[in-house]
Amino acid sequence: MRTPRILTLSALALALSLAHPAQAANDADLAQIRDQIKQMKDAYEKRIAALENRLAQAESTASKAETVADKAEASASQAQAAAQQASQRPASANSFNPELSLILVGNYTNLSQDPNQRRLQGFMPSNGELLPEARSFNLGESELVIAGNINHLFRGALVLAIAPDNTLGVEEAYFQTLGLGNGFNLKAGRFYSSVGYLNDIHPHAWDFSNAPLPYQAFFGGQLGMDGVQARWVAPVDTYFEVGVEAARALSFPAADETRNKNGLMSGAVYAHVGGDVNVSNSWRAGLSYFYAEPNGREYDDPLNDTTYSFSGSSQTWIADFVWKWAPNGDASRQNLKLQGEYFNQSEDGTLVYDVNATAMGTQRANFNNRQSGFYAQAVYQFMPRWRIGYRYDQLFSGDPSFGHDPLTSEFPSLKDFNPKRNTLMMDWTPDEFSRFRLQYAQDKTRPEATDNQFWVQYIMSLGAHGAHKY
Amino acid sequence: MKRIYAIVLAVLLSAFVLPAHAALKVFATVPEWGALAQEIGGEQVKVYTATNGLQDPHRIDAKPSLIAQARSAQLVVATGAELEVGWLPVVIRESGNARIQPGQPGFFEAARYVTMLEIPAVLDRAHGDVHAGGNPHIQTDPRNLLKIGEALSARMAEIDPANALAYQSGYKVFADKLRSAIARWEKEAAPLRGVPILVQHRAFPYLQNWLGLKEIGSLEPKPGVEASSAYLAEILAQQAVQPAKMVIRPAYQYDTPSLWIAERAKIPAVTLPFTIGGTPEAKDLFSLYEDTLRRLLKAQQG
């Protein structure tokens, strides 16, 4: 570009020098010519500058295009590498985030008797939930589960329960070991005790909408622990597991929640055995023992409006048994589950109460009693997605001793009676994330009335696909 | 109490006096991996297979017997890609066995060594029982066994270095035999290329990819979701426009939907073994594919 400009200028100069010898032109002409030349020069220079500019732009666009092409190539090869990696990456829906799941439960109940009058006659009220708690539409507990591996050594889990009255509760919050080895597992924090069969299974995974009567009477629904658990699986072909727990027990029959002492409070030991009979049949059986020393465990007797306080020792034995049948071991079409647990609880200590403060003052009785109860149930999946079930519960109130012959008004709720209940259910499970259940119970837990209870319940689970226990 | 401690202690001690030089204990989740480990390991391994060919691998109970077997296993061979997500994590955690925890050499996931198909772009349960890692039924393409077998033999050698050479040669013998079988099968299966099929469950993308079968519809509107009769009628209507030559299902699924379609569309319903033990003829990894081809070719010839 520089060369044509020089050429143009020299051409102009030549023209000027040719015109020079004429000498005819006067000063005015000269000035005019100079002016014209200047104008021409300016115009050329402008055009040249514009052309230069365009060239520079074109050049930079070209190099940009090249960079873009390079980048595209690089990203293509990156994509290829990523695709290759992707196929080798461990399948995890949400990388490093913990597994999240949410359980939504709700029901409609129709009860022939007033739920506020319900009690288990012959048993100290355990202050646990005696579901269903109310008539008509009820929201159940919404559960939020957050769990995940902490590192290669530990796994942690938190189960939050949001009650329908908008209170938040920590149902479980624990860590457990992953690689202790030699069959050992340790767990610490808040967890459901592994005694019995049903106790450490969350209500949304139960086969009926409410807890069996022995759980309601002897554990206030479900036995929770703040403590430690150690388990060991034997290195033999038949499943054999033993476990021990030391904890601040969070429910009846313990009263550890407000206890102020160092060291041990409540404890449990248990053993489970299990195996396969053949490809279609498998089983598990267990024996558990729970010990607590309730100190000042209170209950209000609704029949005489008196508050009682028990202090002493409480021992509970549980025998549990589960049998599962599925043709050829494939439970997806048909399966049958038989399940039963037997509880035996003995308590020995003193009962402090106040029947009529003005007349008698505070009373004290040497109390001891042995009570028992069981439930047995069968749940049959007769075709894909549909199950029916039947459960029978019964409690035996035993023969309480008070150290004296009690007046009829002294312990009205402990007067002997054997509560019974028959429950039928049918549920529909479109897939493993949703379930609808219809349940009918004939509840004879107090002598004066039979409660006919109808339930319609839904259970929904969102999020991570949790693995279920046997 | 004292007696209980004594018993516990006695069993505990017996754990440490077990014979030191025993066969490598392998816990396989499904029959195909059990068979693969056996082909590679021969007499050096003792294989326990958790399920049989007629069980739905998605829906297995974390049975006590499985926990007991996992307790003493040295190597767990699983499919991965969330196939066993409903039961294996519980079995492994409950076993208290440090060697087989995820991340340890004793935990082997086959799906990590093959190219996965049908990796979902969107993860939403409204799309059915989708697996984030892709379709986990990788065993229906025998070429995958070569890659998985290679990785598995290396893993077995890592865990049991004393027998490393045996695993290496075991794999080599198996791979040579399988390669020539694959060449033979591919020749036999040539007529299946491009044949349009219906599937009862999307269990066969790897088989389709291998043989060139063309899936034109599934009897499950969404993975793991059973078809309504309206949906089946829709599939049947589609048959008039775009006819499939056969409808195939894995042996563990019940046959009602595929028989329903087969009868009305007048096409054969084909039960494929899917894994070893799925049909009486599928006795090992070789007869598994032989039987699969035989059944497909028979249906294709009408």
B64 to A282: CB separation less than 8 angstroms, yes or no = yes
Distance (Å) from the alpha carbon of A90 to chain B's nearest alpha carbon: 6
A355 and A380 co-located in one domain: yes
Identify the residue whose tokens are 């919404």. Answer: A142
A467 to B89: CB separation less than 8 angstroms, yes or no = yes
Amino acid symbol at A453: Q
A425 and A450 co-located in one domain: yes
Euclidean distance between CA atoms A174 and B212, whole angstroms: 51
- Contact residues, chain B, for A182 at CB < 8 Å: 15, 96, 98
Last residue of a domain, one of A33, A53, A88: A88
- Contact residues, chain A, for B115 at CB < 8 Å: 87
- pLDDT exceeds cutoff 50 at B20: no
Q: Is A364 on the interface with B (CB under 8 A)?
A: no
pLDDT, greater one: A49 or B135: B135
B64 to A470: CB separation less than 8 angstroms, yes or no = yes
Is residue A68 domain-resident? yes
Residues 81-110 of A with CB under 8 A from B: 86-93
Task: Encode pLDDT of B203-229 as tens digits.
Answer: 999 999 999 999 999 998 888 777 788
A155 and A15 co-located in one domain: no
- B113, B147 contact by CB (below 8 A): yes
A214 and A65 co-located in one domain: no
Is residue A368 domain-resident? yes
Task: Encode pLDDT of B80-93 as tens digits.
Answer: 998 999 899 999 99
Phi, psi of A431 (to 5 degrees): -155, -175
Identify the residue whose tokens are 């209000």. Answer: A300
A108 and A27 co-located in one domain: no
Distance (Å) from the alpha carbon of B227 to chain A's nearest alpha carbon: 11
Euclidean distance between CA atoms A372 and A41, whole angstroms: 117
A274 to B111: CB separation less than 8 angstroms, yes or no = no
- A265, A251 contact by CB (below 8 A): no
pTM for this structure? 0.83
Token digits of residue A384: 């894909």
Would you state the pLDDT for residue A55?
72
Phi, psi of A79 (to 5 degrees): -60, -40
Q: What domains lie within chain B, and their CATH numbers?
A: 2-184 (3.40.50.1980), 190-301 (3.40.50.1980)
Last residue of a domain, one of A40, A66, A88: A88
Rg of chain A over CA atoms, in angstroms?
41
Q: Is A328 on the interface with B (CB under 8 A)?
A: yes
Angle between helices B285-301 and B31-41 (to 10 degrees): 130
A80 and A126 co-located in one domain: no
Q: Is A469 on the interface with B (CB under 8 A)?
A: yes
Amino acid symbol at A91: A
* Complete DSSP assignment for chain B: -HHHHHHHHHHHHHHHTS-SS-PEEEEESSHHHHHHHHHHHGGGEEEEESS-TTS-TTS----HHHHHHHHH-SEEEE--TTTTTTTHHHHHHHHT-GGGSTTSTTEEEGGGGS------SS--GGG-S--TT----GGGSHHHHHHHHHHHHHHHHHH-GGGHHHHHHHHHHHHHHHHHHHHHHHHHTGGGTT-EEEESSS--HHHHHHHT-EEEEESSSBTTBPPPHHHHHHHHHHHHHS--SEEEEETTS-SHHHHHHHHHHT--EEEE--STTSSTT--SHHHHHHHHHHHHHHHHH-
Q: Containing domain of residue A278, as a range? A: 100-463
A59 and A134 co-located in one domain: no
- How many CA atoms lie within 13 Å of B187's alpha carbon, on the beta-carbon side? 5
Instruction: Provide CB contacts within 8 A for B23, sequence distance 6+.
Output: B41, B43, B44, B45, B46
Is residue A329 domain-resident? yes
Is residue A470 domain-resident? no
Would you state the pLDDT for residue A15?
47
Using 50, 70 and 90 to split pLDDT, how confident is the model at B68? very high
B63 to A269: CB separation less than 8 angstroms, yes or no = no
- A234, B9 contact by CB (below 8 A): no
Euclidean distance between CA atoms A299 and A307, whole angstroms: 6
A88 to B113: CB separation less than 8 angstroms, yes or no = yes
Task: Encode pLDDT of B36-51 as tens digits.
Answer: 999 999 999 999 999 9
Would you state the pLDDT for residue B131?
81
Q: Could you read off the pLDDT tens digit of each residue along chain A, which spans 470 residues?
A: 444 555 454 554 444 444 444 444 567 777 777 787 778 777 777 777 777 777 777 766 666 665 555 555 555 555 554 455 454 455 555 566 788 999 999 999 999 999 998 999 999 999 887 778 889 999 999 999 999 999 888 999 999 999 999 999 999 999 999 878 899 999 999 999 999 999 999 999 999 999 999 999 999 999 999 999 999 999 999 999 999 999 999 999 999 988 888 999 999 999 999 999 999 999 999 999 999 999 999 999 988 888 999 999 999 999 999 999 999 988 888 999 999 999 999 999 999 998 665 556 788 899 999 999 999 999 999 998 999 999 999 999 999 999 988 888 889 999 999 999 999 999 999 888 899 999 999 999 999 999 999 999 999 999 887 778 88
Any idea how long chain A is? 470
A49 and A161 co-located in one domain: no
Find the CB nearest B59 among A234, A275, A331: A331
- A284, A470 contact by CB (below 8 A): yes
B64 to A239: CB separation less than 8 angstroms, yes or no = yes
Please state the domain count of chain A: 2
What are the residues facing A346 on neighbouring strands? A315, A370
- Contact residues, chain B, for A328 at CB < 8 Å: 52, 54-55
Name the least confident of A466-470, B105-109, B243-247: A466-470
CATH code (residue A211): 2.40.160.10
